[in-house]
Amino acid sequence: MSNNKVPQYDNDQVEKLASHIKAIIELLGEDPNREGLIKTPQRAAKALIDNTSGYATDGGQLIKQALFTHSGDQMVIVKDIEFYSLCEHHILPFFGTISIGYIPDGEIVGLSKLARVVESQARRLQVQERLTGDICDIVNNNIKNKGVIVVCEAAHMCMKMRGIEKQETTTVTIEYCGGFKDIAMQQQFFNLIKLKKQ
């Protein structure tokens, strides 16, 4: 989990997941009772719970907790938000960064909430295209705005570890609405997210 709190687990859920993971270990030809694997089913179960914790959060509600009136109408960007997710096709990790831009129309959101929205949607079984679109929709539907844009760049272990096994590939997805349908606005956004970190 992304915060520093010690996570609380439902012991029944952990044990149910662990029993399935133990069976998978056996089916793979390993001995789940050998020293290195004795606690693996429980550890793996907790890792799965952590990595799918987004199902318990509502991105729209996160935004609504920190909305503020604002008279400006210039672009707001939070860039390079790190994320980790699980590919729904192979349950292997994909990870990268997401940048979000929006044009306020009377209100702004606390910046950390955008990062929390990313977390809420990434910590699920996902595909990158839907992840990008979901974040765009959540921001668009919960902040008064004149346009929203989201760009996601990610590396997929299902392409690196199996299948085509191409190590240097990355995937870029983009979603936008409102004022960002204008090519000039898109270009301004992309120019700004390319600015070097200070």
Query: Model's pTM, two decimal places?
Result: 0.91
User: Domain spanning 59-193 has what CATH number?
Assistant: 3.30.1130.10
Query: What is the pLDDT of the chain when averaged over all its residues?
Result: 94
87 belongs to the catalytic site: yes
70 belongs to the catalytic site: no
Residue keyed to tokens 């799918």: 52
Which of the listed CATH numbers 1.20.140.160, 1.10.1060.10, 1.10.286.10, 1.20.120.1760 matches domain 11-51? 1.10.286.10
The end-to-end CA distance of the chain, in Å, is: 27
pLDDT on residue 187: 96
Beta carbons of 54 and 122 less than 8 angstroms apart? yes
* Catalytic choice (90, 153, 177, 188): 90
Confidence of residue 198 (pLDDT cuts 50, 70, 90): very low
Q: Does the structure show a pLDDT above 50 at 137?
A: yes
Q: Which residues pair with 173 in a beta bridge?
A: 152
89 belongs to the catalytic site: yes
User: Quick one: average pLDDT of 41-57?
Assistant: 97
Q: Does the structure show a pLDDT above 90 at 1?
A: no
177 belongs to the catalytic site: no
Confidence of residue 182 (pLDDT cuts 50, 70, 90): very high
* Catalytic choice (119, 126, 152, 156): 156
Q: Report the share of the chain in percent with pLDDT over 70.
A: 95
- Residue-wise pLDDT tens digits, 67-108: 999 999 999 999 999 999 999 999 999 999 999 999 999 999
156 belongs to the catalytic site: yes
User: Quick one: average pLDDT of 156-165?
Assistant: 83
pLDDT on residue 164: 73
For the chain, domain boundaries = 11-51, 59-193
